[in-house]
Structure 1
Amino acid sequence: MSNQTIAEQVDEFNAGFNAQIGPVLADVFAQEQLALNSGGVPSGAVAVGDVVRDADLVSTDGSTTTLSAALGGKAGVLVFYRGAWCPYCNIALQTYQRDLLPKLREDGVALIAISPQTPAGSEQAVTNGGLEFTVLSDPANVLIRELGIVTEPAATAREAHTQLGFDVADSNADATGDIPFPTVLVVDANRTVRFADVHVDYTTRTEVPTILAAVDAL
């Protein structure tokens, strides 16, 4: 699996997942993805040249920190993800742990994952993926909203989640269904965005070679 792209891993996961949940629920999620792709990236979404403000965030132990403290004066790769409940997020985070983090460490670049989950949810993401990089919560999507990447599952998708025994609001710190579009930002030491990749289709993610190319261009 070490040489598989995220997309290849997602294809393998989808084959098993769709067979497990059946054609009716699989079609609900497929229709949601079609609608998201049709809507496209929001016009106000974060873009190259923007400066990411120094937001308050929450660590896995519940303590408050800031984005600047987490970056530690370094350039960084910021990964905004939906939550530990999202299998596509877990595939991406585990791939970044395996294939991205070693090179970033060599280059002195921070890797930080951010979601609207509770600290316990963030800790679950760490445990699920054996993550060795910083994982933080943006409890009410404050930073996520400022970056213009907030969304929420379609009503039909939330109904499907309920049938599968899950509700995103149970994992979010503010008990809403608000989540980010999966997004990767590469920021310099001044938190200026040098690369931005917003994915409206939550089954897709930024591949490791693309991120490394952006880091090399810093």
Structure 2
Amino acid sequence: MSNTGSATTPRIADQVNEFNEGFTAQIGPEFSKVFDDEQSALRAAGVPADAVQPGDTVVEATLLTPQGAEVSLAETVGAGPAVLVFYRGSWCPYCNLTLKTYQAELLPRLRERGVALVAISPQTPDGSEASVTNGSLEFPVLSDPGNVLARALGIRTEPSAEARAVHTELGFDVADSNADATGDIPFPTVLVVDHDGTVVFADVHTDYTTRTEVDEIIAALDLLEAPESPEA
């Protein structure tokens, strides 16, 4: 699997490293330690045992468009394979740079294959609209109020109490962005699903500063589209 980025957009991991340098300098060592400790605890806990994995089926769900209209996941995805991206919200800088990278580097390659790309978060429709506007996104960005779909997939979590306290100090509370006014969020997750909703690739990131690289998603699609070997 190639880990090289394109000539135009660096790998997400490289963008994260660059962002973290400036962010740490901006918020100072005390607040940075809180987030570092949170990330360490998340990595240590690992992916939940009941989290979605290949072979599972994605349940049908009613989601909201940025305009507040109800839409089913099935009609959004259509008849072909799809890439589903679960992210925390437009308030999350790691989510924003990831979605922008997928817009620039992943979407064109998915369009060539007839594969849908859909991003899903628990935030309000206004938050989804902010994600679309900030990233100039051309793929569906939907709200999952109450994390109904994220719960069904076993990827619901929430910031630590200490991290939320720092959020407050920085003038932000995730509950103000979520459609159900809670602090619940999904682990950043990418799923590749077949035309029948079967998960063929699942990448759940407990550490929200890490994300699924474009090449990993394309490699999963290559395996999905590869013809089966004839039986001997």
Task: State yes or no: 1:113 paired with 2:119.
Answer: yes
Q: Could you tell me which runs of 5 or more consecutive residues in structure 1 were left unpaired when the two chains were aligned.
A: none
Residue type of the partner of 1:185? L
Match of 2:92 in 1: 86
The sequence identity of aligned pairs, in percent, is: 65
Q: Could you tell me which runs of 5 or more consecutive residues in structure 2 were left unpaired when the two chains were aligned.
A: 1-6, 225-232
In structure 1, C-alpha distance between the alignment counterparts of 2:25 and 2:114, rounded to whole Å: 43
State the secondary structure of the residue aligned to 1:166. Answer: coil
Provide Cα deviations, 1:48-101, integer angstroms capped at 9, x if missing partner. Answer: 000001111111110000000001112100000000000000010000000000
Provide Cα deviations, 1:28-50, integer angstroms capped at 9, x if missing partner. Answer: 00000000000000000000000
Match of 1:104 in 2: 110
Match of 2:137 in 1: 131
Match of 1:182 in 2: 188
User: Could you say what the CA RMSD is over the residues aligned between the two structures, in angstroms?
Assistant: 0.7
Match of 2:47 in 1: 41
State the secondary structure of the residue aligned to 2:59. Answer: coil
State the secondary structure of the residue aligned to 2:131. Answer: helix
In structure 1, C-alpha distance between the alignment counterparts of 2:53 and 2:95, rounded to whole Å: 22
Provide Cα deviations, 1:134-164, integer angstroms capped at 9, x if missing partner. Answer: 1000011001001000000000000000000
Question: Where does structure 1 differ by over 3 angstroms across 4 or more consecutive aligned residues?
Answer: none
State which of 186, 193, 201 in structure 1 corresponds to 2:199: 193
In structure 1, C-alpha distance between the alignment counterparts of 2:109 and 2:28, rounded to whole Å: 40
State which of 190, 203, 206 in structure 1 corresponds to 2:209: 203
Task: State yes or no: 1:161 paired with 2:167.
Answer: yes
Match of 2:154 in 1: 148
In structure 2, C-alpha distance between the alignment counterparts of 1:91 and 1:211, rounded to whole Å: 16
Match of 1:170 in 2: 176
TM-score relative to the length of structure 1: 0.99
In the alignment of these two chains, the number of paired residues is 218
In structure 2, C-alpha distance between the alignment counterparts of 1:2 and 1:117, rounded to whole Å: 30
Provide Cα deviations, 1:180-213, integer angstroms capped at 9, x if missing partner. Answer: 0000000011010000000000000000000001
Task: State yes or no: 1:61 paired with 2:67.
Answer: yes
- The structural deviation recorded for 1:3 is 3.6
- The structural deviation recorded for 1:6 is 0.1
Q: Is the 8 A contact 2:43 2:207 kept in 1?
A: yes
In structure 2, C-alpha distance between the alignment counterparts of 1:183 and 1:3, rounded to whole Å: 21
In structure 2, C-alpha distance between the alignment counterparts of 1:178 and 1:2, rounded to whole Å: 34
| Higher Rg of the two aligned structures | 2
State the secondary structure of the residue aligned to 1:141. Answer: helix
